[in-house]
Amino acid sequence: MTSTGPVDTDVAIIGAGPAGLAAAIALREAGVAGVTVLEREAVAGGIPRHCHHTGYGIRDLHRFMSGPRYAQRYVARATAAGARVLTSTMVTGWTADGGMWLTSPTGRRELHASAVLLATGARERPRTARMVPGDRGAGVFTTGQLQQSVYLFGQPVGTRALVVGAEHVSYSAVMTLRHAGVDVVGMVTDRPHHQSYAAFALATRVALRVPLHTDTRVVEVQGRPRVTGVVVEDIRTGHRRTIACDTVVFTGDWIPDHELARARGLVMDPGTLGPAVDADAATEIDGLFAAGNVCHPVETADVAALSGRAAGHAIAGWLADRRRAARRAGVPIEVDESFAWVHPQRASTTADLPRNKIILRPRVFASSAPVRVMQADRCLWEGQVRHLVPTRPASIPTGWLARVDPAGTPVRIESATRGTHQ
């Protein structure tokens, strides 16, 4: 159970990013009266607020818009739908009886809800969490901080930047740096290929003349009080050299903002490092749900929103018939070594998943990879996945969930591919 006593709201949603706001809209549309969204930032909307490139809203809103416009649209739709969105309101922990502690300028108080959705999102691992040694000079960013510096505050960034990473967000960082007038001297990835779209990579390399150094790892950051260079190593040869720059942006390498999930004692998935959930976004605590990038770090904003929307539907169903929901089986879903993680981690039969997909995160690069879903000796599904790329989503359909034996052994997703291991 979440709160055991009287409640202040039917559903509390922690985080007003795309997932949380989409869940709020879905809950209101399903007729749930009290939907409260708690946002610690002063402005709701989540990460898209400071992503000024276009490409938002494709899968969920069937439109093409910039991050800030996308964020504003979700906030407007959630408030229009009747959700209460409280900004500058941080959930700092759990009360002994399953409620939440809130701090906001209007006070320190408890909030109790029948159901709680964790939609706390993810962040990039900063330099220190990657244990990159060296000097602690200024000029070290994550993409998140970089984008806020440039787009929200117009702060100076630097003159020559190295981008660490070559996934989607890394190319976004390149665009932000270019916008801020910063020369991008290169991108480095410890993998053998970039992990973004070929068009992005080609345009960046050719049109913007930003070299991409693959199979290259960052050894050390040099310079104080300001960064002067980064030592990199070619993993294949061991050769080291210094790339001169005054700015380093550590991009991607996402980790869920899972503090509240862990503080609540939830089972954490060792792959995603987020809470383990079933196909209805339910954690193992009845009434406590999780959706969005805290569960699958990270998908694009539209997929996070669809994840939230699906969770909203599931929570509405749970509120309508809690006993039925409590009976549901939850056979674990596991992956073989081709994959870093799968979302969801437990099978349930309602299968109202974002885009009706099971999300996988490959460890390997491969094309036309055979994938099958096994429960003991029984093959539940077999097919091909066109591309496997580390850090990028791969997905398989969900129809097989109906064939899972709820009393059976864990389901295992396997790929016999001989991909290029990173």
Partner 1 sequence: MTFAVPPATDAEPYDVAVIGAGVVGCAVARELSIRGARTVLIEARSDIGDATSKANTAILHTGFDAKPGTLESRLVARGYTLLSAYAARAGIPVEVPGALLIAWDQEQLDELPVLAARAEANGYRRTRQIGADELYAREPHLGPGALGALEVPDEGIICPWTTSLAFATEAVRHGAALRLESPVTGVSIGDDVTVVETATGPVATRLVVNAAGLGSDLVHAMVGLEGFTITPRRGELIVFDKLARTMVNHVLLPVPTKMGKGVLVAPTVYGNIMLGPTSENLDDRTATGSSEDGLAFLRSHGRRIMPDLLAEEATTIYAGLRAASEHDDYQISVHPQLRYACAGGIRSTGLTSSLAIAEYLAESMTEALGLSLKPMVHPDADPQPPRMPNIGEATLRPYADAARVAADPAYGEIVCFCERTTLGEIRDALHSDVPPRTVEGLRRRTRATMGRCQGFFCGAKIRQLLTAPDSSTMAPTARNNEGTK
Binder of partner 1 out of 5, 97, 259, 324 (CB under 8 A): 259
Q: Is 163 in the site for partner 1 (CB under 8 A)?
A: no
User: In the structure encoding, which two tokens stand for residue 56, read together?
Assistant: 């938002």
Amino acid symbol at 421: H
Only one of the segments 98-106, 161-169, 338-346, 370-378 lies at the binding site for partner 1 (rule: CB under 8 A); that segment is: 98-106
Site membership for partner 1, residue 9 (CB under 8 A): no
**C-alpha to C-alpha distance for 37 and 183, rounded to whole angstroms:** 40
Binders of partner 1: how many residues, by CB under 8 A? Answer: 50
Q: Is 144 in the site for partner 1 (CB under 8 A)?
A: yes
- Please report which helix (H) or strand (E) contains residue 257, including its range: none
Of 133 and 211, nearer to partner 1 (C-beta) is 133
336 lies in the site for partner 1, by CB under 8 A: no
Q: Least distance in Å: CB of 15 to partner 1?
A: 11
Residue 152 binds partner 1, judged by CB under 8 A: yes
Q: Is 255 in the site for partner 1 (CB under 8 A)?
A: yes
Q: How far is CA 173 from CA 32, 79, 271, 301, in A?
A: 39, 31, 25, 16
CA 16, 22, 25, 27 dihedral sign is negative
Helix or strand holding residue 12 (H, E): strand 9-14
223-242 residues near partner 1, rule: CB under 8 A: 224
CB of 11 to partner 1, least distance (A): 16
Which residue in the set 219, 267, 329, 351 belongs to the binding site for partner 1 (CB under 8 A)? 219
Partners of residue 157 on adjacent β-strands: none
Q: Choose, by CB under 8 A, the member of 29, 53, 65, 82 that binds partner 1.
A: 82
104 is an interface residue for partner 1 by CB under 8 A? yes
The whole-angstrom separation of Cα 384 and Cα 376 is 20
Region of 124-132, 363-371, 378-386, 389-397 interacting with partner 1 (CB under 8 A): 124-132
Residues of the shown chain interacting with partner 1 in the complex, contacts defined by CB under 8 A: 40-42, 44, 79, 82, 84-90, 92, 101, 103-109, 123-129, 131, 133-136, 141-142, 144-145, 148-149, 152-153, 155, 219-220, 222, 224, 255, 259, 262
